[in-house]
Every structure is written in structure tokens, then in C-alpha cells.
Amino acid sequence: MGATTMASDKTEPDESVRQKTYRELKAMILSGRLRPSERLSESRIAERLGVSRTPMREALMKLEKEGLVVGQRNIGYTVVDVDLAKVRNLLVVRQALDVCAAELACDVATDGDFARIGAIIAEMEALNLSTVGNSVDAARVLELGLRIHTVIAEITRNDVLIRVTEQIYEQLQLALLLEVLWIDLKDSGLEEHQAIANAIRARDRVAAAEAARLHVQQSLENMAKVQELLDLRRGAGFL
């Protein structure tokens, strides 16, 4: 019993360091502090985060699986570039998944599920009020936007839909962050998310599907603007 306790005590701090390194490195990418296509120096970032190379490598491998960094032999890791042709393809798939999830959620959602959706909408509304006249917390906007769709997928209780939705959203994170940062979204998608939530609460499959479809359609249209800004920044040497 004593040996087991000692082993547990020994591994917990290491696990904490690994998780902390992963979260902080991911936040650096999603906040734009590490830019698309930027080459990553493991030693420099490890020093910056105050960790050893081992948790840094583990974090990079995990982020590679999520599609946020790319590893190349003899070169190391770089932040993934934003391939907007691929992003648009992913968004088409996302649209189909979100529509399906919204329809299924109308059929099976419980009062507890409605409460989960309502809590996220309330957070979105509070964030929207707090950013009026102030700079938008892009990472927080993205986090809430992704969370509500993840919750809607979870409400379906369809394991395959949940897993595929998570995979698609992981690959879309960087592009969606640029959408929040660079495109003037007046309410950061609040009204669109409210429409989806209201339709699900009303168990209106048609309205829920249409609201989900229109939400992703807006992102597809915004990607054309993101492409223009990316081209301008690359031409000016910013990326």
C-alpha cells in the first residue's frame, strides 16, 4: 500500500507538468503568439515555459495529432500553415455534422442538456457585453464557440458523431481563431448560436438544422476575407 502511494505521489507532478506544458503551448498557438508557419525551437520554448525538453516534446507530439503543428525529420516542428482550401473542405464536412447534431439533439435532449446549452449561451452573452468598446478576448470567444458545438454533439449520445466532430474542430481551430481575430464579427456569432440553442430547446428540427447550416455558411464566407488578409500579411512579410 505504501509503495503504491509513493508511486502515485511521484507521478502526479510529472503528469501536471506535461498537461501544463501542453495547455500553455496550445494557448500560444491559438492566441497568435506563435504564428502560422513559424518554426518552433524546442529548447527556447521549453526555457520560456520553465520546463524540460521531455514534456515539451510530448506536448508537440500531441499538438501534431491535433493538427496544430507539423513535425519534419531533421527540421523539427513548425506551427501549421493555414491552408484555406483544406479549411473550406473541413467546413463543408463540419456543416453536415453540425446540422446532423442539431437535428438529433432536438429528439433526445433532456432538461439537463438544455441547461448545459443555456449556461454556455449565458457565458457568451456576458462575454459579448464585457467586450463592447473593448478588445475581444479571441481565445475565449473561440473556446465558447467550440464548446457549444461539442456539447450539442455530446447531447446526441452518438459516439461516432462526437468523435468525428472533435477531430474536425481540432483541425479547424487555428483558422477559426483567425476568423475571430481578423474579421469584424459584431457579436462574435452570438446571435447565430442563440438561434441554434433556441431551436433545440423548442425541439424544432427544421429550424435547428437551418440555424446550424447558416452558422457554418457564415464561416465559409468569412474564409474568403481571411484569405485576403493572409495574402496581404504574407506580402508585407508579417507571415
Q: What is the reported pLDDT for 148? A: 96
Measured distance CA(53)–CA(68) in Å, rounded: 19
Residues 179-184, mean pLDDT to the nearest whole number: 74
Q: What is the reported pLDDT for 184? A: 60
Burial class (CB in 10 A: 0-12, 13-18, 19+), 236: exposed
- CATH topology for the 2-79 domain: Arc Repressor Mutant, subunit A (1.10.10)
Does 32 have pLDDT greater than 80? no
Confidence of residue 11 (pLDDT cuts 50, 70, 90): very low
| Model confidence pLDDT, tens digit, residues 43-96 | 999 999 999 999 999 999 999 887 788 998 888 999 988 788 899 999 999 999
Does 42 have pLDDT greater than 70? yes
Q: Calculate the average pLDDT of the chain.
A: 86
Measured distance CA(181)–CA(138) in Å, rounded: 6
Name which residue leads in pLDDT, 131 or 65.
Answer: 65
Q: What is the reported pLDDT for 135? A: 56
Residues of the chain above pLDDT 70, percent: 85
Q: Of 139, 120, 119, which Cα lies nearest the Cα of 23?
A: 139
Global pTM reads 0.72
- Domain 84-225 of CATH type 3.40.50.1820: no
Confidence of residue 15 (pLDDT cuts 50, 70, 90): low
Confidence of residue 125 (pLDDT cuts 50, 70, 90): very high
Measured distance CA(124)–CA(32) in Å, rounded: 22
Name which residue leads in pLDDT, 38 or 158.
Answer: 158
Asked whether the beta carbons of 76 and 39 are under 8 A apart, the reply is yes
Does 178 have pLDDT greater than 90? no
CB-based contacts of 203, cutoff 8 Å, min separation 6: 106, 107, 109
Q: What is the reported pLDDT for 67? A: 75
Q: Which H or E element spans position 173?
A: helix 159-182
Q: Which H or E element spans position 40?
A: strand 39-40
Domain ranges of the chain: 2-79, 84-225
Q: What is the reported pLDDT for 30? A: 72
Lookup: cell for 201: 430547446
Q: What is the reported pLDDT for 3? A: 42
